[in-house]
């Protein structure tokens, strides 16, 4: 009976900590998704113009946009810079 009580007590302590950790991670994921959507919207004309034939493999679209950065619209470059700053902030 003593082991069961200890196990139950440990579980009661661990559950709120796990929930708190998950709550902390959710806003970051939401912000990443929002930034990604903002880049897609702002860069859509540029993607159609410069990267229409690029396969949607990991990093391929970003590489295409990087290669054409000097020709991208101001809105696209601004959205990409904002997303890059958010990524750098997450990593620090």
Burial letters for 30-69: b for 16+ Cβ neighbours within 10 Å, e otherwise?
eeeeebeebbeebbeebbeebbeeeeeeeeebeebbeeee
| Number of structural domains found in the chain | 1
In a domain, 30, yes or no: yes
In a domain, 17, yes or no: no
* Residue 11 counted as domain residue: no
Give the predicted TM-score (pTM) of the model: 0.65
State the pLDDT confidence band at 15, using cuts at 50, 70 and 90.
low
More confident residue, 26 or 60: 60
87 located within any domain = yes
Q: What was the pLDDT predicted at 63?
A: 95
Q: How confident is the model at residue 52 (pLDDT cuts 50, 70, 90)?
A: very high
What is the domain extent for residue 75?
26-91
């Amino acid at each position: 009976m003593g082991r069961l009580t200890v196990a139950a007590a440990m579980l009661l302590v661990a559950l709120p900590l796990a929930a708190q950790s998950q709550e902390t991670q959710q806003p970051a994921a939401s912000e990443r998704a929002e930034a990604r959507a903002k880049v897609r919207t702002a860069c859509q004309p540029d993607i159609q113009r410069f990267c229409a034939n690029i396969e949607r493999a990991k990093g391929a679209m970003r590489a295409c946009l990087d290669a054409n950065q000097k020709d991208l619209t101001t809105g696209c470059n601004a959205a990409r810079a904002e997303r890059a700053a958010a990524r750098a902030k997450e990593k620090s």
